[in-house]
Structure 1
């Protein structure tokens, strides 16, 4: 059976390329899946092109994996063997002559409609109470519902990934709460802005209370046990909120990210600015929101009014 040194590969991706935690976990999972396949089929090094094609058929026909999953697992495997060959040229990659095309259906993002967003923002405890004076002695506890709505507001105006937001430290937010330093995918830093004056005030008061409790290096958002809020915990909160408000399909952090991009497109913001805000490496990733925004298209066509132009 081939020796898959996937731990060394994952560590190299983390240390040399700065690959994020979730991607590293996916790499390990992908390579463990392939290791099970090689064991079940009694494969041994050196693997051949036919072995890779057989694994592709196994993923497609036996595991009935989705096209995106198949593509990811093959890409991971190809990267692993390229890394291994780079370390030892006596171990050639079996992907040298392999050409596999996986057709992935293009799925449009599903932003949350404006009516639902308004309903969410108008829920009880939707705003953190502002105090005339904030300090360590008078910092009253903030309800988890109010914090949840604050996070939702930030997701809507910044388009942050939920992992980016839950990883924020108090010191990542400016003192006036107008901008946030974000550590994004691949360790790339970017600045996002909080443009709404009311939200700035709300965030600033929350920030002052948290600073009094934990200092600048503490997590910005905590769970009920006083530890850093995790993405999975926030997703559970959104599911509970969806049930309470009767929202179907249920709210997810990424749908708020889609909504942020779509709303900005509809308001006429340049797509390259939205790309910078979302932290997309490629403009092609951002361009999909142009297709989604029928509202913006309708407004643009009404403004153009070509028949009116022809009549004059």
Structure 2
């Protein structure tokens, strides 16, 4: 048993072996997710990666021949041999669970190998990584000397709390600049609206559209590179890394850090957590509540930095 994983297995008394290969079953499941569950392209890409890992481990076997004990060994392989992060191991196993539940419902397998099998992966609590207000201010100032594309992408990520995948998917038709809003298609193809928080930011978007969408272009995506092609998530990450270096920031800055920073700054500014939940597109407010812990850490640091008893002691000695 590897550190962080606890498992036990109850072996079924009998097992019927069918013929569909695990690889074929995985492809059928992905088709189901795409055509019937309407999962987003990002979610489908993650599922394909997870199922690819499962197939790579088990090889050319029939789907029904995968047992609970084999899944326990698979979990240990992910953690020990592959040395994947606990969160990644948990995601791989969650996808495998969904796969076998679907295979059971469709009659491809006679039983679910996860039934009677418990695999627990301990994921350490980790607060979101945010930029400080000072770091964000420096990044914002660096935007003044950046290209219009880098400036707009960076400031939109911070201003709206969008995921980077959501940002690159924004189309011209999603903009409602008269109302200062952008329609977003998030996880699971769930739609929401985010607010452009200032008139200055709205003018920035309007000016970019007027300059960069004047003629006929090969894509209607808002953000486009010099060739008129839709900007990719990798392109935004690269631009943000260069911008952070220009701003003199020593640590690696990612698009998701800007999302975390936006949420934390809004909560510290007194915005209702339910509004922040809607802005970020969280299904549950429990997901949003993690940012209150970040705010609490800032509060604790401020209180300890005030050194109240030290102040009393200094006044008393004076």
Q: Same fold (TM over 0.5)?
A: yes
1:295 and 1:56 map into 2 onto residues whose CA distance is: 34
Deviates further, 157-166 or 194-203: 194-203
1:197-236 mapped onto 2 (5 Å cutoff): 197-214=199-216, 218-236=220-238
Show structure 1 runs of 5+ residues with no match: 127-143, 302-312
Show structure 2 runs of 5+ residues with no match: 1-18, 304-318
Deviates further, 235-244 or 265-274: 235-244
* Residue matched to 1:120: 139
3-state SS of the aligned residue for 1:251? Answer: coil
Deviation string 1:230-278 (CA, Å, 9 cap, x unpaired) is 1101101111122223312122110100110011001000001000000
1:121 and 1:93 map into 2 onto residues whose CA distance is: 52
1:199 and 1:252 map into 2 onto residues whose CA distance is: 21
**RMSD (Å) for aligned C-alpha atoms:** 2.5
Give the conservation status (yes or no) of the 8 Å contact 1:170–1:210: no
* Residue matched to 2:181: 179
3-state SS of the aligned residue for 2:239? Answer: helix
* Residue matched to 2:6: none
Question: Under a length normalisation based on structure 2, what TM-score does the superposition of the two structures give?
Answer: 0.81
Are residues 52 and 25 of structure 1, via their aligned partners in 2, closer, same or farther at CA, if it must alter by over 3 Å? Answer: same
Q: CA deviation at 1:56?
A: 1.7
Question: Of 170, 181, 188, which residue of structure 2 is paired with 1:168?
Answer: 170
Higher RCO (Cα < 8 Å, 6 or more apart)? 2
Deviation string 1:142-170 (CA, Å, 9 cap, x unpaired) is xx712211222111121011111111111
Question: Under a length normalisation based on structure 1, what TM-score does the superposition of the two structures give?
Answer: 0.83
* Residue matched to 2:149: 147
Question: Of 288, 291, 294, which residue of structure 2 is paired with 1:292?
Answer: 294
Are residues 90 and 203 of structure 1, via their aligned partners in 2, closer, same or farther at CA, if it must alter by over 3 Å? Answer: closer
1:284 and 1:235 map into 2 onto residues whose CA distance is: 28
Give the conservation status (yes or no) of the 8 Å contact 1:266–1:295: no
